Structure 1
Amino acid sequence: MNKSIFQNNQRANQALMHSQINRNIMRNNLNADPNIKPEEIVVESDNMQQTIYINPNQDYQKVIPQVIMPSVFKGNRQQLKQLTGIMLKKSPHFIQGFQKKYCILDNRKLSYYNHEKKNLLEGSLNFDLQEYQYFEQRNSENKIIEFRLIPKGCEKQFIFKNEKIQETQIWAETIQEHLNLSNGRTKQMTFLSKTPKFWKHYQFSNLQVQEDCDNGDIVLFKSKDRFASAQRILLNSEFDHVGILYKENQQLYVYEAVQTGVGTFRWDYLKQQEWYKFYEKVCIRKLNYPQKNDYGVQKRFLDFINENLGNDYSLNIGKFFRFTSTIQKSSDSQKGEKKRSYFCSELVAKAYKEMGLLDQVKSSTQYYPNDFTQEKQLQLLQGATLSPEYLVIFEG
């Protein structure tokens, strides 16, 4: 089967027209044009990729377009050099000077970590989500001895060098290659610079969340209103709300407990309805669990979602002092009883209990939004872990 890739619909429309003509000929018992062969046509645009399979020898009803969302981070398909190693980064505190960092440059993203604890992220610069200005300092021999990255629209500077000038030169030249081929530069993106300390997290596009996230992943919200600010102080948490993600018919949803009760909404509404503007920050933590897709685990999780939709919301002083779980088996005599009410983090904890990821004895009321942040390092069971926090970018 022939395959063609186009940046607009012109070729696809032409092929569909030829195929339709051929099928009309066949319906009238005439000979079909032998030069029109089955083919696969891929039409690409900024937001989607449409694959159309055309076979003029099939009935029209059997020709079904298939829509596929591509990776929003595929960017330029050219392979770029990856670098890893120890670099010296200048501290924002003058007295500390340059400090060792373990750095990874890959796929138009520069991340740096604690040089001893290489899994402890200290900063991440995603060139596909923000335009960066590049500056360098050279010595008398015209060798690069230091380079700076400045997010456009922001005063923050990221200054790097290496103890070996040759290594500094390699890193500087390779970073320029990544910058030149990044979406941040070609599309002149500057909205990320408006987010306070955005580099403290990995960054996800809201479309990438839709594509990559699945059942059991965590979403954390930091609201802008004053009530939420007071709530964060009360709960000693950077975030005032937490929900859990699930997919249904390839659509991603947020399952949460809010003042109107336990409910759900489509993830893409955050962007479409501009709900994200009510939040100072939204972060994702992906659930890494070997048995995540096990039928039994998924059934218990989805059953829990369906059984508790519409339940009431509650946050009261009594819940703060309920330290052990009150596990009850359902029975016919309990069907008429009032359904359980939930606080947001209590709902998420209970969902994880249903998946077998949290201690059944500890009460779900003893989990707060802060317990699901990377700072608290929540210990899950059965080898499950939560990823670092990914800052979600909705603009652009």
Structure 2
Amino acid sequence: MKKSKYLFIGITFLLSFSCALFVAMKVFPNNPFSKTKNNTETSLQNKIQDGDLIFQTSESSQCEAVRIATNSKFSHCGLIYKINGNLFVFEAVQPVKLTRLEDWIQHGKGAKYLIKRLKNADAVLTPATLQKMKDYSQGFMGKEYDAYFDWSDTRIYCSELIWKIYKNAAGIELSKLKQMKDFNLSDARVQKILKERYGNDIPLDEKVVAPSDLVDSDLLKTVIDTY
């Protein structure tokens, strides 16, 4: 009798855990839902909204070239999603993935960051629209990072990821697209990266959106700036 009782309890626990796991993974696969919130995330919970954009300064040679070419201190960005009560950054690195917010912040220079939000977010980013954005984001999960800044969806880079999610899932163009030739490509450090990537065939007419274009968008307002 006792064995049957314990078996029933064990099965009930497993079923409950399986349901929780299914719910957590339904929004995104490989969701690291099991980690608990730390002080950083807890303090930001009431300040951050689903769909906020977050920017930071990264220190790789490519990121340095991006900062120089765009005349901006920002070289990486991501899209903040609230999932099962936790804060994540959906970002295009290698590969495209969800990163816990506090971990993402620590990856930036000096752990500094800037958070921006649509000025009319409360009216535009309805639960239905946010779900469309998350559903659309699923198609990018696990894709390779695009070090060549090609505008196709085969590979993807950070600011391209955000721009396309807002455009194709929410119907919002956060900024006008530019061409590669519109940026400052004359610096030797930028030239070095371009030479490594393209040789003598630089795609100057390629559509491009940089982190700085999103930062400077007239549609966004600053929510948090730790710089």
- TM normalised by structure 2 equals 0.59
Q: Is the 8 A contact 1:284 1:392 kept in 2?
A: no
**Structure 2 gaps, min length 5:** 1-36, 179-205
Distance 1:253 1:386, change over 3 A: same
Is 1:352 the equivalent of 2:204? no
Q: Aligned to 1:316, which of 148, 156, 163?
A: 148
Which residue is 2:221 aligned to? 387
- TM normalised by structure 1 equals 0.36
Distance 1:388 1:294, change over 3 A: closer
Which residue is 2:102 aligned to? 268
Note the alpha carbon deviations across 1:91-119, whole angstroms, 9 max, x for none. Answer: xxxxxxxxxxxxxxxxxxxxxxxxxxxxx
Query: Which stretch shifts more, 240-249 or 306-315?
Result: 306-315
Q: Is the 8 A contact 2:56 2:108 kept in 1?
A: no
**Structure 1 gaps, min length 5:** 1-68, 73-204, 327-338, 380-384
Report the CA distance between 1:344 and its aligned residue. Answer: 0.6
Report the CA distance between 1:362 and its aligned residue. Answer: 5.3
Distance 1:293 1:226, change over 3 A: closer
Identical counterparts, % of pairs: 24
Q: 2: distance between equivalents of 1:239 and 1:360?
A: 16
Q: 2: distance between equivalents of 1:280 and 1:229?
A: 17
Q: 1 or 2 for the larger relative contact order (CA 8 Å, sep ≥6)?
A: 2
Q: Aligned to 1:342, which of 153, 156, 160?
A: 156
Q: 2: distance between equivalents of 1:305 and 1:254?
A: 12
Letter in 2 for 1:342: I
Structure whose CA Rg is larger: 1
RMSD: 3.3
Is 1:366 the equivalent of 2:208? yes
Q: Is the 8 A contact 2:53 2:117 kept in 1?
A: yes
Letter in 1 for 2:132: R
Q: Is the 8 A contact 1:243 1:344 kept in 2?
A: yes
Q: 2: distance between equivalents of 1:269 and 1:280?
A: 10
Letter in 2 for 1:234: A
Q: 2: distance between equivalents of 1:284 and 1:253?
A: 13
3-state SS of 2:73 partner:
coil
Report the CA distance between 1:358 and its aligned residue. Answer: 1.0
Alignment of 1:34-49 (within 5 A): none
Distance 1:291 1:235, change over 3 A: same
Q: Aligned to 2:123, which of 276, 279, 291?
A: 291
Report the CA distance between 1:291 and its aligned residue. Answer: 3.1
